[in-house]
Amino acid sequence: MPRYLVFRLYGAMASWGEIAVGEFRPTSDHPGRSAVLGLIGAALGVRRDEEERLRALADGYRIGVRLDAPGQLLRDYHTSQVPASGTGRSRRTYRTRREELLAPADLVSTVLSTRDYRCDTLATVAVEALPGAPYSLDDLAAALTNPVYVLYLGRRSCPPGLPLEPMVVEDAGSLLEALAAVDAESGAAGFLRALFRGKGHGTTRTCRLFWEDGMMPGPCDGVQSVPRRDHPLSRRRWQFRDRTEHQAVLAPRTEER
């Protein structure tokens, strides 16, 4: 039976980027493959210009997501000043907003955009390692507990609202079984139940499950399969390829009071 690394992503704000053209930056309602791999890469200290390490990450793992709460949509008209990074006259990589603000004025340009966010969103993620994966699931769990770079939920302005609480689940019979393990072990479960009850969700919630080819989801009805272009090929050039994402609506869950 496969092993899974399971962790939770909760944030007051998150942005799970979709295909963005021009000034409009939409968000999905759940973290996709690129978002999860980017989070893991940041925890490990992998830079965007380390193409070989990023490619090994992208090719080494399968990812499943249970969307526990999609959150509410927030749309922001966004203005920002940023210097060119890694292209043209500037070959420098800026690691913090402070470094960007200290850049020479002739390298700074203004960006106008409309950006979407999800507020009070919660997802439970399961990662399955493939043969030849560059890091063990235990290594990934350790990195997510003590990350090299600051973790954020899609954008720098969206830090996690709670610890990720990564745990490795042994011998799970299915993806759903592995995801359920974090419900029993998480120290934040009581807080999250109270939070969503306070927002009018009551004690019964309907969740959605997303998974990739080759994963064993467990008992699901009404499965749909859709193409998503979120398998990263090159972070420096922002190139992605298509993959097939399977999804299903799960039976309503009754939470403990």
pLDDT tens-digit readout, 39-85: 999 999 999 889 999 999 999 999 999 999 999 999 999 887 888 76
The chain-wide mean pLDDT, for the chain, equals 87
What does each C-alpha distance from 256 to 59, 88, 184, 191 come to in angstroms?
A: 39, 56, 11, 12
Q: What integer is the mean pLDDT of 84-98?
A: 71
Bigger pLDDT: 114 vs 82: 114
Residue 204 has pLDDT above 80, yes or no: no
Q: What integer is the mean pLDDT of 143-149?
A: 97
Q: What integer is the mean pLDDT of 211-237?
A: 90
Helix ranges (H only) for 146-188 are 175-185
Specify the pLDDT at position 67. Answer: 95
Specify the pLDDT at position 249. Answer: 93
Q: pLDDT category, 181, cuts 50, 70, 90?
A: confident
Q: What integer is the mean pLDDT of 20-47?
A: 92
Q: How far apart are CA 70 and CA 68, in angstroms?
A: 7
Taking Cα atoms as reference points, which of 159, 163, 215 lies closest to residue 33? Answer: 215
Bigger pLDDT: 193 vs 13: 13
Angle, helices 33-44/51-60, rounded to nearest 10 degrees: 130
Looking at domain 4-73+117-254, which of 3.30.70.2660, 3.50.30.30, 3.40.50.300, 3.20.20.70 is its CATH number? 3.30.70.2660
Specify the pLDDT at position 132. Answer: 93
Residue 90 has pLDDT above 80, yes or no: no
Phi, psi for 236 (deg, rounded to 5): -70, -35
Q: pLDDT category, 165, cuts 50, 70, 90?
A: very high
| 247 touches 223 (CB < 8 A) | yes
Residue 200 has pLDDT above 60, yes or no: no
Pairing mode of beta strands 24-25, 108-129: parallel
| 246 touches 225 (CB < 8 A) | yes
Q: pLDDT category, 1, cuts 50, 70, 90?
A: confident
- Give the H/E segment covering residue 210: strand 208-212
Q: What integer is the mean pLDDT of 170-198?
A: 80
Helix, strand, coil shares of the chain as percentages rounded to 5?
A: 25, 40, 40
Q: How far apart are CA 37 and CA 134, in angstroms?
A: 13
**Greatest CA separation for the chain:** 58
| 229 touches 238 (CB < 8 A) | no
